[in-house]
Amino acid sequence: MRTHICGELRKNHEGSNVVLCGWVNKRRDHGKLIFVDLRDFSGVIQVVFDANLSQASYNSAKDLRTEYIIEIRGEVKVRPDETINNDLLTGEVEISTQEIRILSASKTPPFMLDDRAKVDEMTKLKYRYVDLRTEEMQSNMRLRHEVTTVTRQYLNSQGFIEAETPILAKSTPEGARDFLVPSRLNPGAFYALPQSPQLFKQILMFSGFDRIYQIARCFRDEDLRADRQPEFTQIDLEMTFVKVEDVVNLVEGLIYKVFKEVTGEEIKIPFVRMTWKESQETYGSDKPDLRFDMKLKDVTEISRDSKFNIFINVLNKKGCIKSIVIDDYNEFTRKDLDDLVDMAKKYGAGGLIWIKVEENQVLNSPISKFLSPGERENLIKFLKLKEKNLVLIVADEFIKTCTTLGAIRSYLGSRLNLIGEEEFKFTWIVDFPLFEWDEKEKRLSPTHHPFTRPSDETLKYLKSDPLKLNSLAYDIVLNGNELGGGSIRINNSELQKGIFKLLGFDTKRMEENFGFLLRALEYGAPPHGGIALGLDRLIMLIGRLESIREVIAFPKTQSAVDIMTESPSPVTEQQLNEVNIRLAKFKKETEE
RNA sequence: GGAGCUGUCGUCUAGCGGUUUAGGACACGUGCCUGUCACGCACGAGGUCGCGGGUUCGAAUCCCGUCAGCUCCGCCA
């Protein structure tokens, strides 16, 4: 249909007769002369309709409106010097139009494409086809394509093959809530959409495919966040005969390549690496934002002799006391401090203590009267306190103290503008505990997943003290975001059974849920490991965007609704019958 | 399951108990305009202030409920 695309035309096309197709970005009517900015995926070019040149096309141009789709035939002309538009890549030329055809009319769009940033999220999602025309979304989608392209190129070059695995998969316990799909041919039975292709990847390793990857769509029926959608995409890969080091190196190579090719930036590799324990101790998080410092300082030891009840209780329970120091307490009103205390409670800690360092090293705090002179001196010396400093202290059990202060640290990071927005700070977190204690369910739960191999050094605690087991798992963290995680997997049936047992599976349930895996492990399973990277998050971070909705063509709202298609939606009685489902009366209906 | 923020012409917003007949900007419609590119000028149309209830002489404005969007906690092997 067309001979050129809008964005490509330059001075050297002068005199060419071209046919262009695109959207009317803007029409400027000057009476006998009409300018139209014609837009396609490649850019914008000015098209001129001159009544003296072609009365017919000029007349048609009168009817043009924003977002009409047209085809024009005309000649590329170099613009007179004084009318060159330097804001436009095609600004040195314009098309003198001889013929025009309206290919598709358009209603007035629900919002103007050039002020997308201000438009309400709901409006944009309802008219996503309009939103996707904006420069921002066009560029986000292109960015996404570039990242996946480089990923494929890189992994292909490293001996990987791309393999697909079922979307209609088996529901497995553990982990996120499954999306279920009823089976018509097997009444009463359900498939589950995969939370990740994890077990299929592993079994492909058992099958002798040395390295496989997949740009994998994953489904988890959990609540949404700015960086969490019910369906999302992972760069999911698995390799045989590897150690942690091998996977880490490979991923560093991949990330390096992606940044180099996509943004031109040379990311520093290898990435910083720290253990899970270290990360909790110093940043109060398993996904620390290393773009700013503000480390957590442990004051448990110097508080040993404290007379302060809360401290005494925590110390008796083998908890810990940690602090962060802020330069200037004048940044915080009394209300701000109260809010910080509330925040600490929200994150599960008993509370938060603040101490202001006033003139002559006088410590002003709600707990001043409980602090002995010795304690004060210790704090000042140990935390190297200076006048105007503000100390925040949390005392509770280890993990609560860490995560609470960690959350406050990351809040302060943005609140006090400590974050260098331009930076990309990667880190690996390693040596995760294999299990966590689930207080609600009163049982062990896997920190990573139940197929993760315990480290050789801690394997001896398997029977005696499973909470002491460390895993061969690793997370990759970028600017405080969990970008991905992986592990070396168990390749031994007995060990796998042992882990399931610790997780509370009896033989029967083990067989029902994971029989296929245990059997597969008995027919020769090589050592293997892999990782999954959150593709949407990676692209969001590269694009410096606030939400993964910005890098997904058709995302869902926080209540998991696609506003454009109005999905999910009810289905007919017949459809339900065919899959042997009868709806229970749900709350909303019964209340009416 | 919970907390917070938001909801006013198509869009972005002003108004936060009484000269409000709800104002503006952009968009939109009509007309004029031969060098604009955030075109300009003139005129015009467009809103049951998310929805329901209450308080009040009087509610966009205050209160309660509800719905929706967003952010967060829980949840996310």
- Give the residue carrying structure tokens 């892999």: A530
What's the mean pLDDT in A183-202?
Answer: 97
Between CA A111 and C1' B9 the distance (Å) reads: 13
At A508, is the secondary structure helix, strand, or coil?
Answer: helix
**What number is the average pLDDT over the span A168-190?**
95
Q: Nearest nucleotide (C1') to the CA of residue A52?
A: B34
Task: Compute the Cα dihedral for A585, A575, A224, A165 and give only its sign.
Answer: positive
Handedness of CA A408, A412, A413, A418 (dihedral sign): negative
Q: For residue A244, give the 3-state DSSP assignment.
A: helix
Residue nearest to nucleotide B72 (CA to C1'): A225
The answer to whether the beta carbon of residue A370 comes closer than 7 angstroms to any atom of strand B is: no
Average pLDDT, chain A: 95
Residue A401 parent element (H or E): helix A398-415
Q: How many beta carbons lie within 10 A of that of residue A3, not counting itself? A: 11
Q: Quick one: pLDDT at residue A89?
A: 96
Q: Which nucleotides of strand B lie under 7 Å from a protein CB?
A: 1, 10-13, 26-29, 32-40, 68-77
Which nucleotide is the nearest neighbour of A194, by CA and C1'?
B77
Do residues A40 and A23 make contact, with C-beta atoms less than 8 angstroms apart?
yes
Instruction: Pick the range with the lowest mean pLDDT from A8-22, A277-291, A430-444.
Output: A430-444
Q: What is the mean pLDDT of residues A524-536?
A: 98
- Separation in Å, CA A469 to CA A366, A436, A444, A446: 41, 10, 12, 11
Strand A161-162 relative to strand A211-219, pairing: parallel
Residue A79 (CA) to nucleotide B24 (C1'), in angstroms, measures 37
The nucleotide lying nearest A111 (C-alpha to C1') is: B11
State the residue for tokens 């001996």: A159
**Ordered DSSP codes for A82-104:** GG--TTSTTTTEEEEEEEEEEEE
Closest CA to A29 of A57, A54, A64, A76: A64
Cα A157 to its chain centre, rounded Å, is 26
Q: Is the pLDDT of residue A500 over 70?
A: yes
**Euclidean distance between CA atoms A530 and A544, whole angstroms:** 27
pLDDT band at A589 (very low <50, low <70, confident <90, very high): very low
CB–CB of A131/A125 below 8 Å?
A: yes
- Report pLDDT digits (tens) over A117-151: 999 999 999 999 999 999 999 999 999 999 999 99
What does the block give as tokens for A204? Answer: 């492909």
Measured CA A590 to C1' B64 distance, in angstroms: 23
Residues 6 or more apart from A483 whose CB is under 8 A from it? A426, A475, A476, A477, A533, A534, A537, A538, A541
Q: Which single residue is written with the structure tokens 């409106």?
A: A65
Report the pLDDT value the prediction gives residue A590, as an integer from 0 to 100.
Answer: 37
Sequence-distant (≥ 6) Cβ neighbours of residue A427 within 8 angstroms = A271, A272, A273, A274, A279, A288, A290, A476, A477
Strands (E), A177-319: 180-182, 190-192, 211-219, 231-240, 272-275, 297-298
| Residue A592's pLDDT band (cuts 50, 70, 90) | very low
Q: A87: which nucleotide lies closest, measuring CA to C1'?
A: B37
Chain A 205-234 contacts with nucleic strand B (CB below 7 A)? 220, 222-228
Q: Is the pLDDT of residue A526 over 80?
A: yes
Q: How confident is the model at residue A586 (pLDDT cuts 50, 70, 90)?
A: low
Distance in angstroms: CA A559, C1' B63:
28
> Nearest Cα to A25, choosing from A88, A83, A74, A99?
A88
The phi, psi pair for A130, rounded to 5°, reads: -80, -45
Residues A234-276: tens digit of each pLDDT: 999 999 999 999 999 999 999 999 999 999 999 999 999 999 9
Identity (one letter) of the amino acid at A238? E
* Nearest residue to A405 (alpha-carbon basis) of A279, A496, A574: A279
User: Of A298-302, A332-336, A351-355, which range is least confident?
Assistant: A332-336
A80 CB inside 7 Å of strand B: yes
Percent of chain A topping pLDDT 70 = 99
- Alpha-carbon distance of A164 to A212, in angstroms, equals 9
Q: A91 beta carbon < 7 A from strand B?
A: yes
Chain A residues 498 to 517 with C-beta below 7 Å from nucleic strand B? none
The predicted-structure confidence for A200-235, as pLDDT tens digits, reads as follows 999 999 999 999 999 999 999 999 999 999 999 999
Q: Is the CB of A74 under 7 A from strand B?
A: no
Query: Exposed, middle or buried: residue A139 (CB in 10 Å: 0-12, 13-18, 19+)?
Result: exposed
d(CA A279, CA A107): 55
SS (H, E, C) A60-72: HHHHCCCCCEEEE
- The closest of A8, A534, A491, A516 to A205, measured between CA atoms, is A491
Q: Which residue has the higher pLDDT, A383 or A422?
A: A383
Q: What is the mean pLDDT of residues A105-109?
A: 95
Residue A591's pLDDT is: 37
Bridge-based pairing state of the strands A231-240 and A528-534: antiparallel
φ/ψ of A40, rounded to 5, equals -135, -170
Q: Which ranges in A95-173 belong to alpha helices (H)? A: 121-126, 128-131, 135-157
Taking the C1' atom of every nucleotide in all shown strands and the CA of A221, the nearest one is: B76
In A214-372, which ranges are continuous DSSP H helix? 244-262, 276-283, 309-316, 334-346
Q: C-alpha angle A435/A441/A442, rounded to 5°?
A: 70
- Whether a cis peptide bond, with omega within 30° of 0, leads into A270 is yes
Neighbour count for residue A590 (Cβ, 10 Å): 8
Note whether A451 and A490 are within 8 A (CB).
Answer: yes
Please, what is the Cα angle at A532 between A527 and A535, to 5 degrees?
Answer: 160
Average pLDDT over residues A380-396: 95
Indicate if CB(A59) is under 7 A from strand B. Answer: no
What is the length of chain A?
Answer: 592
Residue A191, pLDDT score = 97
pLDDT digits (tens, 9 = 90+) for A465-483: 999 999 999 999 999 999 9
Determine the protein residue whose CA lies at the shortest distance from the C1' of B40.
A30
Q: Which residues lie closer than 8 Å to A223 by C-beta, 6 or more apart?
A: A558
